[in-house]
């Protein structure tokens, strides 16, 4: 089956439709490119033009008129909620008289998790779909007169392909936990140095004292739990970055539409929720997203966000836990430095050259830092 040469731009994902989108996205098993996740962001008013996330999703039809390839694409009027930081590029370009915003971004909004951005139906030659989707994004960039196209957190295979097409390749790092065939949490602890084993057991004991820790998914996701978690989320968001990105409606719709893909790990004292962490469940990974609390309990953050996530992933046979952006303290909990990627097309050659030079130098620094961190701080037994 081959694709038609025309690329359609859609201002709502609903204009493409769930069945058509999922035919391209579902095989990846990634919850953040699922139709329901992206549609909930639009339906709740979180990822819409008013908030600086104007949907411009690309769709390409096959010879039979069915959608054969899609790309989640947004017209951005700022760089908030992306977790790949290009503010310095924008500042430099605008000081030189350029106009950096708006720009085009292929990503899962508010989500620093790796996942496919070039989504091609399995019976379509993948590279043909990639070429048409990228070509459509670059053509749209030219037609709209915007500064750039950015593709954030693609898997390495897509990133390599995008680099071969001439896009600037940027590398960052996160901290991921990998399942080395563990049957239990104690099996994981057995891989660690004796000092780290003792520390983690002590942290877990202290964090759980007097508390009930529960894992909620599926039908157990109640509005009461969402009310509590939203309070945690708002408190954390307002302290860290000002106005949080997600509203209360988003969480209710997420629970309605993706209950089997959601894991809320919540802590309760005497019947009152005091802390919680939101995770999404992929076919291969558990993705930690947001955390918050209303009571300061030593080590509870580590327990709810890291140790419970590891235990849950082991129990479900998942291959890894991605705990989100930043946090060198995660290394001591078994989350190791792991590369993450982005690719960038800059329309103006006057900015393109400096960006390409910057990302090349940055990659060398990131590689060096990851190697040093793994050698100096790894909690795993040597030899």
What is the per-residue pLDDT for 235? 84
pLDDT, tens only, 268-321: 999 999 999 999 999 999 999 999 999 999 999 999 999 999 999 999 999 999
Q: Are 362 and 344 in contact (CB under 8 A)?
A: no
pTM of the model: 0.96
- With a cut of 80, say whether residue 325 has pLDDT above it: no
Question: If you average pLDDT over residues 115-131, what whole number do you get?
Answer: 97
**Domains assigned to the chain:** 3-174+338-375 (3.40.630.30), 180-318 (3.40.630.30)
Percentage of the chain modeled with pLDDT above 90? 92
Question: If you average pLDDT over residues 79-95, what whole number do you get?
Answer: 95
Local structure of 34: helix, strand or coil: coil
What is the per-residue pLDDT for 109? 98
pLDDT, tens only, 203-251: 999 999 999 999 999 999 999 999 999 999 998 766 655 578 999 999 9
Question: If you average pLDDT over residues 180-208, what whole number do you get?
Answer: 97
Local structure of 366: helix, strand or coil: helix
- 308-326: b (≥16 Cβ within 10 Å) or e: bbbbbbbeeebbbbbbbee
pLDDT, tens only, 6-26: 999 999 999 999 999 999 999
- Mean pLDDT, rounded, of the chain: 95
């Amino acid at each position: 089956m081959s694709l038609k040469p025309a690329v359609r731009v859609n201002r709502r994902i609903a204009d493409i439709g769930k069945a058509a989108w999922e035919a391209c996205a579902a095989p990846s098993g990634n919850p953040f490119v699922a139709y329901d996740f992206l549609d909930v962001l639009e339906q709740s008013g979180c990822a819409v033009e008013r908030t600086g996330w104007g949907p411009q999703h690309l769709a390409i039809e096959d010879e039979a008129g069915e959608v054969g390839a899609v790309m989640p694409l947004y017209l951005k009027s700022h760089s908030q909620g992306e977790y790949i930081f290009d503010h310095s590029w924008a500042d430099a370009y605008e000081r030189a008289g350029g106009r950096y915003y708006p720009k085009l971004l292929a990503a899962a909004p508010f989500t620093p998790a790796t996942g496919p951005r070039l989504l091609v139906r399995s019976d379509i030659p993948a590279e043909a779909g990639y070429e048409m989707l990228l070509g459509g994004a670059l053509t749209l960039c030219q037609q709209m007169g915007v500064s750039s196209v950015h593709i954030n957190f693609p898997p390495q295979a897509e990133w390599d392909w995008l680099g071969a097409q001439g896009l600037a390749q940027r590398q960052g790092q996160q901290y991921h936990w990998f399942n080395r065939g563990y049957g239990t949490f104690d099996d994981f602890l057995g891989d660690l140095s004796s000092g780290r084993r003792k520390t983690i057991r002590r942290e877990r004991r202290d964090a759980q004292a007097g508390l009930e820790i529960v894992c909620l998914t599926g039908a157990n996701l109640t509005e009461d739990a969402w009310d509590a978690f939203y309070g945690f989320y708002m408190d954390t968001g307002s302290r860290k970055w000002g106005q949080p990105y997600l509203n209360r409606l988003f969480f209710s719709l997420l629970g309605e539409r993706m209950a089997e893909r959601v894991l809320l790990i919540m802590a309760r004292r005497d019947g009152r929720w005091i802390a919680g962490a939101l995770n999404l469940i992929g076919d291969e990974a558990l993705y930690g997203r947001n955390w918050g609390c209303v009571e300061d309990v030593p080590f509870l953050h580590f327990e709810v966000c890291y140790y419970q996530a590891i235990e849950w992933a082991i129990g479900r046979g998942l291959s890894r836990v991605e705990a989100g952006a930043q946090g060198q303290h995660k290394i001591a909990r078994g989350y190791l430095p792991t590369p993450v990627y982005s690719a960038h097309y800059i329309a103006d050659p006057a900015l393109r050259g400096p960006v390409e030079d910057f990302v090349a130098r940055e990659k060398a620094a990131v590689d060096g830092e990851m190697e040093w961190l793994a050698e100096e701080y790894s909690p795993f037994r040597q030899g």
